[in-house]
Amino acid sequence: MREEKDLLGTLMVPDDAYYGIQTQRAVLNFSVSGQTAGDIPHFLWSIAAIKQAAAQANAQIGALEPRKAAVIVTASQEVMNGNFAAHFPIDVFQGGGGTSTNMNMNEVVANRANELLTGARGYDAIHPNTHVNMGQSTNDVIPAAMKMTSRMNIKHLLVQLEKLEAVLADKSRLFADKVKLGRTCLQDAVPMTFGQQFGAYRTQVSRLKEKLTEVNEEALCLPLGATAIGTGLSTHEGYLPAVYQWLETLTGEKYRPETDFFDGLQHGDFYIEFSAQLKKIAAFLSKMATDFRIQGSGPRAGFNEIIVPAVQPGSSIMPGKINPVMPELMNQIAYQVIGNDVTVTMAVEGGELDLNVWEPVLLKALFESCSLLSRGIPLFIDKCLKDIAINEEVSARYAEESTALATVVATLFGYQVGSRIAKAAYQQQCSVKQVVLAEKLLTPEQADYLLDPMNMTDPQKSTAAIKRYQTEMNMS
């Protein structure tokens, strides 16, 4: 152990640690969740990238000695490469608006930079605050890093949504001629195809991608340069354009400063919007998963019209039982994401006065949601969606026997006649077609083309069938 000092006194720090006393205090204060900033994909990378760009910018404008900037750049790059992952031990939950995480980065970079410059760790040549944190504040570094992290995580999620969209498009084409009974209010409705069902899913994913892409563009606006409360206090002349220039060189992204730094530090509507898109994705996935659970229920006392792939035995007591575990997984992911959205909303609402200090819980909630979706979607595709199948015999029977086929009868003969035919079919436990033929409302040939469930799934075919009937009956 080694002894370090700060304004509160002294504290022992592990001798082999690249972090220092402020990190050690945070470890002792905040160990509640077992998760650290390093568990959030790309977050530490983003903070280190800011430190590197700041050092380069400060050197460019003459505020920082080139040799000191050079070792800060090298040390930051090593952190970005993952070399010091074990030296970021602070819990993701913490007070102080992320100050502990920012100082953790400053201390690690400073110790390593000092080591590169002098051969020994410590702050003799490179100080965490004076040099590594030059022109910065926790208040602009952490939210800027959060937006950069958002952009990288959103890009990964968009890739998964593209894969989901492609699989749904394939299923829509594959199931284009597989008829099923539509249902509203969990009751029998008119026929449709499984292709139309999966096509609707694909369209929804396409819209979700579009909205998430819009949010991703908003993530390019950073509060970096605002420092403590938006005034830019402690930055040197020329720093602001230089730091964004270097950040673009480093990341390849065209990051730009917020139009109003005071707004950027106080208001977190970006996070509400980001979380809202994650919630929408989760709600859709859960809805689709529930559809599969209902349609795959049975196999003898349920719908049994689709076959959800079996991936594991379903019961410790009932032999042969198979549960829809992958759809159930998606439901649970959705419940967590939707709960996280409430957390994000409250954390943004609580950003009192001149700074929102709730970045730690925003980080935890947002990127847990993003990771759950990014990891859950490929599992759902691989273990459920790509091999989902249709029980064609059962589905076709449901469509043919539905009393909702009386809708066509109502179109031809009026709603009262249609209702009477539907009621008779239900009471007699037979099909609408059988009742229509028994009452001689239609000829067998007319019943065949008018009451064909597949024809009813296509507006053009159903319209043509009714027109054909009207022509045969000399109806205007």
Instruction: Domains for the chain: give ranges and CATH numbers.
Output: 2-134 (1.10.275.10), 140-225+262-390 (1.20.200.10), 402-475 (1.10.40)
How far, in Å, CA of 115 to CA of 136, rounded?
A: 23
The verdict on whether omega for the bond into residue 299 sits within 30 degrees of 0, i.e. cis, is: yes
* Res 322 pLDDT > 80: yes
Q: Which residues contact 13 (CB under 8 A, 6 or more apart)?
A: 1, 2, 3, 4, 19, 20, 21, 23, 24
Which residues, listed in sequence order, are joined to residue 6 by a DSSP beta bridge?
9
Are the CB atoms for 36 and 91 separated by under 8 Å? Answer: yes
Structure confidence at residue 179 (pLDDT)? 97
Neighbours of 315 (CB within 10 A): 10
297 burial via Cβ count (<10 Å: 0-12, 13-18, 19+)? middle
Beta strands in 7-153 (DSSP E): 9-13
How far, in Å, CA of 93 to CA of 98, rounded?
A: 9
* Res 476 pLDDT > 60: no
Structure confidence at residue 387 (pLDDT)? 97
Pairing, β 306-307 against β 389-390: antiparallel
Percent of the chain scoring above 90 in pLDDT? 98
How far, in Å, CA of 413 to CA of 421, rounded?
A: 11
Of 174, 168, 196, nearest to 453 by C-alpha is: 196
Span 269-298, mean pLDDT?
A: 97
Mean pLDDT (the chain, rounded): 96
How far, in Å, CA of 295 to CA of 305, rounded?
A: 6
The pLDDT confidence band at residue 475, using thresholds 50, 70 and 90, is confident
13 burial via Cβ count (<10 Å: 0-12, 13-18, 19+)? buried
Buried b (16+ CB within 10 A) or exposed e, 27-58: beebeeeeebbbbbebbbbbbbbbbbbbbbbb
For residue 462, give the amino acid letter.
S
Backbone CA torsion sign across 364, 366, 367, 373: positive
Q: Residue length, the chain?
A: 476
Structure confidence at residue 357 (pLDDT)? 93
Span 366-387, mean pLDDT?
A: 97
- Report, as residue numbers or ranges, the catalytic residues: 315
- Torsion angle of the four alpha carbons 9, 12, 17, 23, in this order, in degrees rounded to the nearest 10: -40
Pairing, β 187-193 against β 179-184: antiparallel
Are the CB atoms for 457 and 196 separated by under 8 Å? Answer: yes
Are the CB atoms for 252 and 260 separated by under 8 Å? Answer: no
* Res 321 pLDDT > 80: yes
Are the CB atoms for 281 and 205 separated by under 8 Å? Answer: no
Span 278-297, mean pLDDT?
A: 98
The pLDDT confidence band at residue 177, using thresholds 50, 70 and 90, is very high
Span 299-317, mean pLDDT?
A: 94
Structure confidence at residue 430 (pLDDT)? 94
Structure confidence at residue 474 (pLDDT)? 84
Q: 444-467, pLDDT tens digit by residue? A: 999 999 999 999 999 999 999 999
Are the CB atoms for 330 and 285 separated by under 8 Å? Answer: yes
